[in-house]
Amino acid sequence: MADNGKKIYVLHIVGARPNFMKAAPVMRALARYPELSQKLVHTGQHYDANMSEIFFRQLGLPAPDFNLEVGSGSHAWQTAQIMMRFEEIVLQKRPNLVLVYGDVNSTVAAALVCAKLGIPVGHVEAGLRSFDRTMPEEINRLITDQIADLLFTPSQDGNDNLIGEGVAPEKIHLVGNVMIDTLVHLLPSVNGRCRQELHLEPKKFALVTLHRPSNVDDRERFAAILKTLDTISRNLTCVFPVHPRTRARLQEWDLAIPDESRLRLLEPLGYLDFLGLMQEAALVITDSGGIQEETTFLGIPCLTLRKNTERPITVEVGTNILVGEDLEHLENETQAILNGTGKTGGVPPLWDGKTGERITKVILEFHYMANI
């Protein structure tokens, strides 16, 4: 309890697909402590049912207490809308702590609002750096970490980056990877149903996801990637659940897929179906952040179509390989995996399903220390 006998009020902010699997285990852990009360704000950055609603259901997230319904727009517009609408809620509710997740526009917008109102902010998944400031997420990470009061890092490199940027060590807490909590929690519910419905044999297909502006917002680059995927699919069927932004580019540029029976485009999948496919894939080709971590945990080879990663531990310890911009490299690494000479890997420390619990303990300590 707080000094005045009231519960400690924590507000969680989520907005985009990768936030949902990070907030769920923290909410579950907080719910075990009667001295804590919590509410959930959805900014509405992602709004399609298959980008949002299905995740709430499968992850066991409660319906949001507040929905800001901001939708899509330019970065400035989206960030500003979230700030204006979220500020009203913070002023009304005066939470003791606001928890923000990951690196999306909703994360930085909510952190900025709180910093200006003097409300403590905790950042879950702090300290990750790609050192590439052309990525919108890198800007979001840098700013959020400078203004947050509690920084929850998934791995030691996160601590090192924050210390290097002058963040006070007492704010930094190495708690492990919260996304792995969700994976561990839901793995028993995952099955081969989706794979069977798609008539795929285990380990006889590649799972593909792409949505980064650097890959899909440049016509030539995107067309070249599709051509390489087509080549790969001659030996290995490729299954590609298509993100809305990627779908929009495909349509805008009228990019043709030579043979959709080999390179199969799907609508975005729910968490359980996606995980089911990942677990049984021969390999994963992606530009996502979270998928680099999930494949490392599952020991599935991952080829990342990026020049850099904010998750270097997945390369150092795990199964991830950065193939950069070189599409020939992608083809060669795919072949190596198919030949049985691909990279293997281990699981980083504290990626054990207990990160939500560790975060909760830090929150309680922080509150008591602040009120002594």
Of 51 and 257, which has the nearer Cβ to ligand UD1?
Answer: 51
* Interacting residues with ligand UD1 between 106 and 145 (CB under 6 A): 136-137
Active site residue: 211, 243, 329, 367, which one?
Answer: 211
Stretch that binds ligand UD1, among 34-42, 109-117, 239-247, 331-339 (CB under 6 A): 239-247
Stretch that binds ligand UD1, among 101-109, 148-156, 350-358, 364-372 (CB under 6 A): 101-109
Instruction: Please tell me the count of residues contacting ligand UD1 according to CB under 6 A.
Output: 19
Q: How far apart are the first and last CA of the chain?
A: 13
In the bound complex, what is the minimum distance in angstroms from residue 73's beta carbon to ligand UD1? Answer: 7
List C-alpha distances in Å: 265 to 133, 217, 229, 259, 261: 31, 18, 12, 10, 9
Of 72 and 189, which has the nearer Cβ to ligand UD1?
Answer: 72
In the bound complex, what is the minimum distance in angstroms from residue 261's beta carbon to ligand UD1? Answer: 26
* Secondary structure (3-state) at 327: helix
Cβ pair 209, 288 in contact under 8 A: yes
The 60-99 site mask, x for binding ligand UD1 (CB under 6 A), equals ------------x---------------------------
Of 108 and 337, which has the nearer Cβ to ligand UD1?
Answer: 108
46 binds ligand UD1 (CB under 6 A): yes
Stretch that binds ligand UD1, among 39-47, 180-188, 297-305, 344-352 (CB under 6 A): 39-47
* Interacting residues with ligand UD1 between 14 and 33 (CB under 6 A): 16-18
* Interacting residues with ligand UD1 between 254 and 293 (CB under 6 A): none
**Helices (H), ranges, 136-218:** 136-147, 156-164, 178-186, 193-197, 213-216
In the bound complex, what is the minimum distance in angstroms from residue 77's beta carbon to ligand UD1? Answer: 10
The question of whether 329 is a catalytic residue gets the answer no
Q: Is 193 exposed, middle or buried (0-12, 13-18, 19+ CB in 10 A)?
A: exposed
Determine the Cα–Cα distance for residues 144 and 103; give it in Å rounded to an integer: 8
In the bound complex, what is the minimum distance in angstroms from residue 367's beta carbon to ligand UD1? Answer: 29
211 binds ligand UD1 (CB under 6 A): yes
Determine the Cα–Cα distance for residues 338 and 34; give it in Å rounded to an integer: 51
Tokens for 11, please give them.
């507000």
Of 47 and 240, which has the nearer Cβ to ligand UD1?
Answer: 47
Q: DSSP code of 296?
A: H
In the bound complex, what is the minimum distance in angstroms from residue 138's beta carbon to ligand UD1? Answer: 10
Backbone angles phi, psi at 311, to 5 degrees: -120, 60
In the bound complex, what is the minimum distance in angstroms from residue 80's beta carbon to ligand UD1? Answer: 13
Q: Dihedral through CA 351, CA 354, CA 356, CA 357, nearest 10? A: -150
Of 141 and 358, which has the nearer Cβ to ligand UD1?
Answer: 141
Q: Dihedral through CA 135, CA 141, CA 147, CA 153, nearest 10? A: -170
Tokens for 160, please give them.
């090192």
Determine the Cα–Cα distance for residues 129 and 109; give it in Å rounded to an integer: 19
Cβ pair 68, 86 in contact under 8 A: yes
The residues assigned a catalytic role are 211
Interacting residues toward ligand UD1 by CB under 6 A: 16-18, 45-48, 51, 72, 103-105, 136-137, 211, 243-245, 248
